[in-house]
Structure 1
């Protein structure tokens, strides 16, 4: 009887250690809060974020990332501009290095605050995004609090890339 109890305790301890290691170094889950990524991600969706790859790769357009914010809980946004990019928005169209982005995921309602911006409007010195910084925007631009509000984010604040939506079950999606 003691041997069986000891085996159960060991199995539970190993499971807890594995969960802690996985959550600390590899993957973590987040709940989407708000409508800023609609229609890609809706309020209440549950996603898995890959923290492991953060150590080996740079983020690129159009990856969806989670990052920590000084303004409250973590945000989920899409990478639009990367280090070295020149970015601006004219007439609700984003241009990166002079080329318009194909953004079929963006909600266009004809209204948006701050329709036009340049990097200098976001507090960037110079014409390009500096090293270790990214411009992120929400897909639902009329309601999104994003880089237009708080400027560029530093790569150290990025938790990781969203790899999987697992809730609701009828909308499971891998890689956005």
Structure 2
């Protein structure tokens, strides 16, 4: 009996250690709060965030990331500009390095509270996004608090890239570019 209890305790301990390691270094889940990423994500959607990207990859325009906010809980937003990019918005059209950005995921194009901006309007010094900084926007531009409000996001704030929506079950999806 003692041997069996010991085996169970070892199995439980190994499971707990694996869970802690996976959550700390590989993947973590988050719940989307609000409609700022609609229609890509809805309020209360649950997503899996790949934390490996933070250590081994570079984020690209179009990646959906979760990052820590100084204003409260973590945000889910889309990367629009990466280090070295120039980004402007004119008449609801984003331009990255003077090329229009095709954004099929943006369906709410009316009544945006900030239709035009330059990097300087967002508090960036210089003509391009600085090294280690990212410009992020929500897909639902009229409702989103994003770089238009708080400027660029430091790479150290980014938790990882959203890889999977697993809830609700009828909307399971991957690849949010």
Give TM-score, length-normalised by structure 2.
0.98
Aligned to 1:42: 42
Unpaired runs of 5+ residues, structure 2, are none
- Which moves more between the two structures, 74-83 or 103-112? 103-112
Alignment: residue pair count: 176
Q: Does 1:28 align with 2:35?
A: no
Q: CA deviation at 1:108?
A: 2.5
Aligned to 1:108: 108
Q: Quick one: distance in 1 between partners of 2:98 and 2:31?
A: 35
Q: Quick one: distance in 1 between partners of 2:109 and 2:81?
A: 23
Please state whether the residue corresponding to 1:118 is helix, strand or coil.
coil
Q: Quick one: distance in 2 between partners of 1:100 and 1:118?
A: 14
**Structure 1 vs Structure 2 CA RMSD:** 0.7
Q: Quick one: distance in 2 between partners of 1:125 and 1:170?
A: 45
Q: Does 1:86 align with 2:86?
A: yes
Please state whether the residue corresponding to 2:88 is helix, strand or coil.
strand
Q: Does the CA contact (< 8 Å) of 2:53 and 2:59 recur in 1? A: no
Q: CA deviation at 1:175?
A: 2.2
Give TM-score, length-normalised by structure 1.
0.98
Q: CA deviation at 1:109?
A: 4.2
Q: Quick one: distance in 2 between partners of 1:175 and 1:3?
A: 47
Q: Quick one: distance in 1 between partners of 2:141 and 2:62?
A: 15
Aligned to 1:65: 65
Aligned to 2:74: 74
Q: Does 1:9 align with 2:12?
A: no
- Give the 4+ runs in structure 1 shifted more than 4 A: none
Q: Quick one: distance in 2 between partners of 1:132 and 1:45?
A: 29
Unpaired runs of 5+ residues, structure 1, are none
Aligned to 2:125: 125
Q: CA deviation at 1:52?
A: 1.4
Q: Does 1:53 align with 2:53?
A: yes
Aligned to 1:170: 170
Please state whether the residue corresponding to 1:11 is helix, strand or coil.
helix
Aligned to 2:157: 157
Please state whether the residue corresponding to 2:47 is helix, strand or coil.
strand
